[in-house]
Each structure stands twice: as structure tokens, then as C-alpha cells.
Amino acid sequence: MLLSLIKILLFVVAVGGLIYGTEMLLNTGSDLRIAVANYEFTLGPIQAAVALVLVLLLVWLVLKLLAFTFACLRFLAGDETAITRFFARTRERRGYQALAEAFTAVAAGEGDAAMSKANKAERMLKRPDLTNLVKAQAAEMSGNTDSASDAYKKLLSNERTRFIGVRGLLKQKLAEGDTETALKLAEKAFLMKPRNAEMSDMLLELQARNQNWKGARKTLGAKLKYGSVPRDLYKRRDAILALADAQARIAAGDHAAAHGEAIEAARLAPALVPAAAMASTSYIALGKPKNAAKVLRTAWAREPHPDLAAAFAAIAPDESPEDRVARFADLISLKPGHPESQMLQAELELAAENFPAARKAMRDLASTMPNARTMTLMAAIERGEGSDDSTVNAWLAKALTVSRGPQWVCDNCGQVHGGWAALCESCNAFDTLSWTEKNDGDAGKAASMLPLIIGAAPTSGRAPPQSDDAEVIDHDGPATDGAEQKAAQ
């Protein structure tokens, strides 16, 4: 306290002296005259500035000398670390300055400079809990993964930095593709900080990649408990995990448990299309067709989808086309103006060979929503009404050039999937598939639909090669020749 007071007083004296000297210069002219005893000194402007610097340096030295004197006095009074602390303060200031420069170099992307400053800070501060973090970041920036790994491992030894070390090693293992070790590290990190949203998300995704659906549901429940996920998103993702678990159980032959998981998924997320479709299949297997119809109607009222229509048809697979039109009327009436309802109505009328009703159901979809499905439906209607081959082929040619329509597309990487899945097949991202339209020029695959539309389906149930489809389109004779030849095979 006394030393601080002396420093303040000396600072005030120095400032007062500067003010007094400046005033004297202004009053007496450009030269500064100093008289001490019988000596007189006359200083010009430059000499005065040099003298001022020397005075300030002298004041600084006096302050340092005073600080050292007080440290010596405290040492003589019994404080054994007084002199050590005096020299340590200077080293500490230089160390923190080097650390600050290291952080600045990391932010600027200068890995080598950051590593050099971090090493200097480590020598000065002897604080590995601070310097190892910066060293790890600098090493990663420089591409030296081994040094970064060593730095992260050193952070594990300190309770305060253990989480940072585990997180750094986890990200390294993910970058290396070692998901098994990454999963173990993520579990440790989650136990240390369950409220950390980044770690819980990472653990959930890794558990999903490893098809540990039960563990993923527990992690999701913990996220809800600690407030890191909204309740509506929690229900949706819990339903997705239950649905994925049901799919895994079916693959393992445990159908009884799979039915329960599928029904639970539809309860949690009634609007989730794959959950409603699988719950319907489970209800049918359990002999509850009314429950199957109910869950499908609930989902259709939220968002119509072809998979829901297929599941609704599976409730009564042997009914006649006319009976199917009548039974589906209740489903379609839930969303009568939706394009999916219009196309479903048209397909049902086509199956019943009521072509005028099919055209009426399509309305203006061919112009407002041109895609492979609407074009092929129009070709089928034209074929059913007896239009010539050129008219039918014109619609089919359009089907090959327009978008394929909505598909299951990964929002993360853009990969198109043939069916819904909890994880993207390409990037392994969780819950990123959405039913949307992707204009990627892949409409040529719609050619596989042509044999079904122009009158003959292959007996094997598989679409014919695309070359045969092209032959059907370009054929000068009847448009059914190519398909009939394949059906005859």
C-alpha cells in the first residue's frame, strides 16, 4: 500500500514538473535556463526534450529501485518470497504479453507465429493450463496434428482444462474418421458438461451413426432436461429415433418390439410421414385396420404424401379399383386442393379406367407443377382417351426433361435418397432428409416409368433398361411395341 502511494505521488510530481517546465518555456522563450547553486545551464528545444526523457527514465529507475528496496525489506522481515515475487512480476507481465500476442496470431491465422509466442509465454508464466490451449490451436492451424494432440493430452491432467482437452481430441478423432474412439470421448465430455449443447449434439449424432438408438434417445432426453432442445423438436427427433429403432428391430426379426416402437413414433410425431406409414403397417399386422386408417388420415391432414397413400392402399390390398376410389374419397377430402390429392385422385381414376374423371382431377397441374409424375399422368390420360401416339409421346418426352418432383433430399449435402432414413447415406447427418424438389437435371430417370404408362408392365416387376425406354419413344410404329416385347420375355 505504501509503495503504491509513493508511486502515485511521484507520478503527480512528474506531471506537475512537466506542466511547470512547459509554462516556463512559454514565458521565457525557446530556451530553457536552469540554475543550480553557482551553475547555470541553457537548453535548446532538442536538449530540453532529451533532458525530459532522461528525467522520466530517472523517475522510472527510482520507482524500480524503491520497489526493490521494499522487497528487500520484506525479505529481511521474514517474507522469503518477496524478492522472488519482485522479479516474477516483470516476467509475468512479459509472459501475459506474449500470450496475448499468441491469441492475436491465432485469430489472424498465423500458426507458426502463434506457436512461437505460446512457447515464450509458457517459459515465462509456467501456466500450462493457459498456454497448452493456444499451442494446440496454433499446431492445428499449422497442420501439426501430433503437437496439437500432445497439447490436448496435457490439458487432460488439469481439472479446469480437462473438458477442453477431451473436446480437442474428439474433434481430431472425427477428422481422422475414428468414430469409435470419438464416441467414447463424446460420452466422457457429455458426462463432464451435460449442459454443453455442442457436445450433446455430437454425442447424439455419433450414437445415431453407430445405431445406438436407445443411447441416442437417452441423450435426447438429457438435452430436453437441460433446455438445449425445444420440446417440439425433441418430440420429432425422439420419434425419428424410435422409428429407426423399429427398422433395426425388423431387420433383426424382432417384429413384436418393432410394432410398439413404430406406433410410439407416430404418437410422438403424427405429421412424420415415415412414422405414420410404418405405424399403419404395424396396426395392420396386429389386426387393427381402423387404427391404421386413423393414423394415416391424421398424417395426411397435416401433409399429403405418396407413402401415406401407398400405406392406405395396403389396408385393403385386394379391393377393386372402383371400391378403392370410393374408400380413398374420405382421405382425399381432408386436403382436396393439395397437388398430392389431385394426383392421387387421377391415379385412382386411371386404375378404374375413368379417364375423363382423371383429367378433371388433374386440373391445371401439368402447367402449374410440371414434373415427371404430372407429365406421365397426362400421357396415361391421353392414352386412355385414345389419343394418337404423337400426343402421348409428346407428354412422355416432356417427362424426361422436367424435374422428377419432390424426393427425399438431404438438407446437409443434397444427396437424393430412394426412401426415408434417419441418417443420410452420404454424409451421415442425422434428421436432415426432407421431402422436397431438387432440380438437378436427373429427370431422365423418369424413363423407367414409361412401360407402365404406355400399356405394358414387365412381368418381373422391375423397370426395363433406359435404352428400351428410348426405343419406345422413338419408335415409328405403335408405342407399345417395345414394352410388349419386354413383357413377352
Q: Which residues of 276-314 are buried (b: 16+ CB within 10 A; e: fewer)?
A: bbbbbbbbbeeeeeebbbebbbbbbebebbbbbbebbee
Dihedral sign computed on CA atoms, order 278, 281, 285, 290? positive
Give strand pairing partners of 407: 436
Q: Which of the 8 DSSP states describes residue 239?
A: H
How many other C-beta atoms are found inside a 10 Å radius of the C-beta of residue 166? Answer: 24
Residues 70-85: what's their mean pLDDT?
A: 61
pLDDT in tens, 156-182: 888 888 998 999 999 999 988 898 999
Backbone angles phi, psi at 44, to 5 degrees: -75, 180
408 Cβ partners below 8 Å, 6+ apart?
416, 417, 418, 419, 420, 421, 433, 434, 435
Q: How far apart are CA 138 and CA 119, in angstroms?
A: 11
Q: How confident is the model at residue 23 (pLDDT cuts 50, 70, 90)?
A: low
Q: What residue type is assigned to position 325 of the chain?
A: V
Do the Cβ atoms of 383 and 392 come closer than 8 Å?
yes
Q: How far apart are CA 444 and CA 448, in angstroms?
A: 9
> pLDDT tens across 247-298, in order?
999 989 999 999 999 999 999 999 999 999 999 999 999 999 999 999 999 9
Delimit the domains of the chain by residue range.
2-101
- pLDDT for position 25: 60
229, 283, 439 from 196: Cα distances, Å = 11, 39, 38
Report which of residues 2 and 110 the model is more confident about. Answer: 110
pLDDT at 116: 86
Give the integer Cα–Cα distance in Å for 301 and 307: 14
Instruction: List pLDDT tens digits, range 394-407.
Output: 999 998 888 889 99
